[in-house]
Amino acid sequence: MKSLLNYQVTDRLPVRVWAPDHVQVRQYAEASGDFNPIHLDDNYARQAGLGGVIVHGMLTMAQMAAMLTDWIGKEGELSKFNVRFEQIVRPGDTIKCSGFIRARSESTLVCDLEANNQKEQRVLSGLAHISIQL
């Protein structure tokens, strides 16, 4: 696997593909304590105008963070992580987390991030700073 020290501006990050399902959404609700019925009750979510249950935004963010931490391993640490939620994610979607190096210094990689669904709609965008352990 390529060392973080060898990444340059415009290099792509590894891709993580994630397919949330109702079981994972329920497990996330239990772990986070977020039992908002828009995530768990299809009828409630429809009545709220959402067209059915939606995945917790923070669960989508966690998948992006997992992509980053799997990639950096023990060579670095995630020192800054910001995201913007752009579209609803639903159980059954296929989400592709990806990114590229926007800038670098000797000890920091700045990464642009995005997650897209199977319709190629961007559901999340963001920025991460990776501190490289020298």
Alpha-carbon distance of 108 to 124, in angstroms, equals 23
- Here the contacts of 63-67 (C-beta below 8 Å, separation 24 or greater) are 63/16, 63/18, 63/95, 63/97, 63/115, 64/16, 64/97, 64/113, 64/115, 64/124, 64/126, 66/16, 67/13, 67/14, 67/15, 67/16, 67/97, 67/98, 67/99
Supply the pLDDT for residue 69: 97
pLDDT at 1 over 80: no
Calpha distance 47→85 (Å, rounded): 22
User: Where do the domains of the chain lie, and which CATH numbers do they carry?
Assistant: 4-20+56-132 (3.10.129.10)
pLDDT tens per residue, range 54-79: 999 999 999 999 999 999 999 999 99
Which pTM was predicted?
A: 0.94
Percent over 70 (pLDDT), the chain: 100
